[in-house]
A and B are shown apart, each in its own frame.
Chain A
Amino acid sequence: MSEIAWLVPVVLTVITASTPLLLAATGELITEKAGVLNLGVEGMMLVGAIAAFAAASATGSGALGILAGALCGASLALVFAVLTLSLYANQVATGLALTIFGIGASAMAGAGFVGFALQPLPQLALPYLSSLPVAGPILFGQDVLVYLSFAALVAVAWFLARTRAGLILRAVGEAPESAHAVGHPVIRVRYLATLFGGLMAGLAGAYLSLAYTPMWAENMTAGRGWIAVALVVFATWRPWRLLLGAYMFGAITILQLHAQGAGIHLPSQFLSMLPYLATILVLVLISRDRAKIRLNAPASIGRAFRAEH
């Protein structure tokens, strides 16, 4: 047992580094499956992070913090939805606007919170189970958002593969004209999918500022929103591969922290480059197979839909 005991803290930190990626990428997956490309994940995460931090420090309640993060992420997604779905604005440009706005708005709202610390989200301890060796702290000693990230992924996988509503969502993403012709409300489905993406990005931000590092710092997402977008491509729009990707990236993030402890004396800046370089690498590995991307990407992704009648 003692040989693997050292693994426990490593696995625990990998989970904390992976959870925000998994939350945000699960949301973006649903958005993209409906044919909407929202590149504003980074901005929605930042706004979610500061909203959660502000609400939690004002009320002392982590639950209210989580709620505030999710709602603010979703409201930013609503702005995106109105612009792209009702006013037919370019989705790439609007996503970039969302990120630029999110960086500014979160920095402004967070100006008064820099330097404050917060109690991290409590671990949901289960009697007996949590005190099991090794499996206890890993499986039964996490905070609510970690469990939620898994629950959301399972729910999304089931929703897309097994439910009628999931089928409609995929139809809207693949062939909006046909979906419209058989009477499905394309725009309404896309609104809901976009809002869900924002909600999950907000939760991802809340996880960063409430659990990962329980404090607020400007730009604290450090590109995680963009990595989440890349993960959806890496997963070729399939939920289970999202789990693999998110945990792989979580592990890379942690690798860089542990590398210095393990006696690898690279300057810290080079180690910090790892997640970004890894993102480029996996994008290249996945995208080089053009046929695979074309088969798996929602066919109407990024294209505006306008009902003729």
Chain B
Amino acid sequence: MIRLEPRRQHSTLMVYLAPVLAVGLTLLLGIAAFSLMGKDPLAVLHAFFVEPVSTRYGLTELGVKAAPLILIAVGLAVGFRANVWNIGAEGQLTVGAIAGGGIAIYFHQSTNPALLPAMLVAGAGGGMLWAAVPAWLKTRFNANEILTSLMLSYVAVLLLSYLVHGPWRDPAGYNFPESRIFPAAGTMPLLLAESRLHLGLVLALLAAFGCWLLLAKAFLGFQLRVIGLSPRAARYAGFSERRLIWFALMLSGGLAGFAGVSEVAGPIGQLLPTISPGYGFTAIIVAFLGRLHPLGVIPAGLVMALTYLGGEAAQITVGLPAAVTGIFQGVLLFFLLACDALTYYRLRFGRPTLPERHAT
């Protein structure tokens, strides 16, 4: 009989080992599944995880995909720590793209160097605005932020669809549901020639570092951690729950909106009906894989970015549907949650021993 016995103190080793273990177990399961499907598992894994990053361009694409994931996951990690479950980052990303993209479309003849900064600010503002709704509904009406933020994601995607099918459709675009191409002054500067790697990655790393400082050094970060670990203790200490909810949602919404505008001003270059392959949802996994630590989110973002590249590559080279990425991400999170049990519990084999009773 195998049991889980609580540890006196949680295992620091397991906090870091669990993600590694989870990735390993996911790969093992993948090998077994592909063998059963009659495919050479090593060839599939090679196509999925090695081939995409074996060229210079592939490596830069890793950065392109990791940038929005890191940006969003950093904000989510801060919120999750405080038990604020913003799962509508996809919507905040979309509204950020709409707000920033709208400026680029309105000023499409502009060559003003202030255009891009204005777009980035508007993008972050759009994301914050969209996150302000669940924050307000939570603090004012006690409405569950999980459900409201998620419902608003559907609304945001429909809003974008309306805009690119209607008022913002490119007048010279042969009726395709696409906006104008953004002007040069409204696109993200590239970091490397002959790639799509843009400034967004640098800003994502800065955001991660900034949030780490906030959590580790600032009193606000301390309050966020306390409220997550023990809401009651936080109340006794007089921390304002309302303020922390607002802060967590504004931070994660703003970063998601920033990621959205970076995407449309970066690799996409215009507004389309679909601007994200689910970055807002994948970032939830990134946050957990990165141990809800702003710096841990960086390697986690790179791993999840690789699953997107791998999914695209595996579609071409071994003929797997692109959805294999989603399965991989889901299974990885399952294993991670399972391995996390070992952080707080140790495995015990054999029958439980009852504590000795003293006769009274």
Contacts and interface: CB of A to CB of B under 8 A. Distances in A.
Interface residues of A, number: 47
Contacts of A288: 141-143
B152 interface: yes
B176 interface: no
Interface in A39-74: 39
Contacts of B146: 39, 92
Interface in A235-291: 267, 269-270, 272-273, 276-277, 279-280, 283-284, 287-288, 290
Contact of A83 (B141, B152, B321, B338): B338
A41 to B, nearest CB: 11
Contacts of B327: 101, 104-105, 108
Contacts of A218: 323
Contacts of A277: 151, 155
B222 interface: no
Nearest to B324: A108
Contacts, number: 142
Contacts of A223: 150-151, 154
Residue from B151, B158, B159, B166 with most neighbouring chain A CB atoms (10 Å): B151
Interface in B123-145: 137, 141-144
B195 interface: no
Interface residues of B, number: 49
B276 interface: no
B337 A280 contact: no
Interface string A86-129: 11111011101110111111011001000000000000000000
B333 interface: yes
A258 to B, nearest CB: 19
B333 A97 contact: yes
B331 interface: yes
Contact of A100 (B158, B324, B330): B330
A17 interface: no
Contacts of B281: 96, 100
A162 interface: no
B323 A107 contact: yes
Contacts of A83: 334, 337-338
B274 to A, nearest CB: 12
A146 interface: no
B203 interface: no
Nearest to B339: A87
A277 B333 CA distance: 30
B288 interface: yes
A87 B158 contact: no
A264 B335 CA distance: 49
Contacts of B106: none
B85 interface: yes
Contacts of B323: 104-105, 107-108, 111, 218
Interface of A: 39, 79, 83, 86-90, 92-94, 96-98, 100-105, 107-108, 111, 218, 222-223, 226, 229-230, 233, 267, 269-270, 272-273, 276-277, 279-280, 283-284, 287-288, 290, 293, 306, 309
Given A92-B85, A93-B333, A96-B333, 5 more contacts: A87-B338, A101-B330, A105-B327, A108-B323, A273-B158
Q: 5 shortest A-B CB distances, which residue pairs? A: A104-B326, A101-B330, A107-B323, A269-B162, A89-B337
